[in-house]
Amino acid sequence: MIANDIGAVRWAICCFVFSGCVDAFLDFWCVFLFGFTQQRIIRSLRLKLFESVLAQEVGFFDATSTGDITSRLTADCAEMANDLTWVFRFTIEALVRIGGITTYMFHQDWRLGCVAWGIIPVTALINRFYGQWLSKNATQVQSAIADANTVAVQAISSMRTVFAFANENTEYRRYATCINNCYKLNVKQTIYQSFYYMAVSTFLMNMCVQAALLIFGSYFVLDEGMKVDVLVAFMLYQAQLQEYFGNLLNSFTNLVKSVGAGSKVFELLHRQPLKMESEGLMLEEVQGRIDFEGVKFQYPTSNVNILNDLSFSVHPGKVVAIVGGSGAGKSTIFHLIENFYQPTIGRVKLDGIDIWKFDHKWLHRKIALVGQEPVLFRGTVEENILYSAGLASDEPL
């Protein structure tokens, strides 16, 4: 080996090491940027979704379980962001590489290139039907997870009641039923996914296309004088084309999964509250007169009127006790005064003005409500007092 050859080898090794370092550097930024983007998407989705939830009317929370909402905030947002982020990365990479390989194939022999791509219409048709099914199944999976979260939240938040009736096994069976439904849906998806990849990747892309390349390629070599190395190159590049086309199919399935998983999230994001817009009135002085005029009301989750043509007045400075049996509507009256709900028919007034016309925050600073079972947020008594007073620090205390 002469000195020039040794120098060339050293130069090649240096170039190889340098390119490897560049590749490692670019891989770091690729993973970091896509991961960083994923976390930003999750944060943005959760903030916007929680903001939308807080803007809903009280009746929405009567009809929607806490577990369902928390599942949308946690599992669904994470599933959407995870699928979407890596979909874009692998799609871009797959498209670039497929484009390069295809250009080479058609440059070498357009006839074999047509053979290699002749299967695309069939796979596209299969993808269409598989994607539609996968989107529906993903929606069902996320709903099953939400149902399981609902059961868990109800049981954990009411553990004293569960213990009081010794119903631990009952709650376990309820949760197990929901988890088993989710498990069955995932197993069903796995079965369909196995058939899908068997048909598209193994049978069509691998066996059928390569067999067609061998058949036509052998004919071109034997009868038309095509070089053998072109056929060999086609077989090698077909394997790479299959790999990147498989990545593209994975991106497609993840995309439709994300659409299915995110359907409920976007439904909540775009939901408009079913309540009248406040005119933002704020009185300088509140007398405290309350008037109910022909009020009829039923809760959003019920078809039975709780209040029927109720009319009465409470004058300022008077103490009024409302007496009645369970379910007679005593608490409902206070819910209407607090503007939690709008009357089905009739009007509720404060100092002669419809109560819904007042500014939301101002109204609830003027009306004090002490429930039968006060709810305390996690924290100290001081923090709960500050919360109820709308204060940010303990200076006024």
Q: Residue 100 pLDDT > 80, yes or no?
A: yes
- Nearest to residue 232, comparing CAs of 213, 260, 248? 213
Q: Look up the pTM and report it.
A: 0.70
Q: Residue 4 pLDDT > 90, yes or no?
A: no
DSSP line for 147-206: HHHHHHHHHHHTHHHHHHTT-HHHHHHHHHHHHHHHHHHHHHHHHHHHHHHIIIIIIIII
Q: How confident is the model at residue 390 (pLDDT cuts 50, 70, 90)?
A: low
The percentage of residues in the chain with a pLDDT greater than 70, rounded to a whole number, is: 92
Q: Which is more confident, 330 or 254?
A: 330
Q: How confident is the model at residue 180 (pLDDT cuts 50, 70, 90)?
A: very high
The arithmetic mean of pLDDT across residues 133-139, rounded, is 83
Classify each residue of 113-137 as buried b or exposed e, where b means 16 or more C-beta atoms within 10 Å of its C-beta: bebbeebeeebeeebeebbeebbeb
pLDDT tens for 207-233 read: 888 788 888 888 888 877 777 887 888
Residue 292 and residue 346 in contact, taking contact as beta carbons nearer than 8 Å: yes
Q: How confident is the model at residue 391 (pLDDT cuts 50, 70, 90)?
A: low
pLDDT tens for 308-322 read: 888 889 888 888 888
Angstrom CA distances, 138 to 135, 254, 261, 336, 345, stand at: 5, 10, 5, 40, 41
Which domains does the chain carry?
A: 32-269 (1.20.1560.10), 290-371 (3.40.50.300)
Q: How confident is the model at residue 283 (pLDDT cuts 50, 70, 90)?
A: confident
State the Cα–Cα distance between residues 249 and 257, nearest whole angstrom: 12
Helix, strand, coil % (nearest 5) of the chain? 70, 5, 25
Mean predicted lDDT score pLDDT of the chain: 81
The percentage of residues in the chain with a pLDDT greater than 90, rounded to a whole number, is: 5
Q: Residue 243 pLDDT > 80, yes or no?
A: no
What does the pLDDT read at residue 20?
Answer: 86
Identify the three-state secondary structure at position 222: helix
Sheet containing 307-314: order of strands: 307-314, 290-297, 345-350, 353-354
What does the pLDDT read at residue 268?
Answer: 86
What does the pLDDT read at residue 181?
Answer: 92
Block residue for tokens 């369970």: 326
What does the pLDDT read at residue 305?
Answer: 84
Q: Residue 290 pLDDT > 80, yes or no?
A: yes
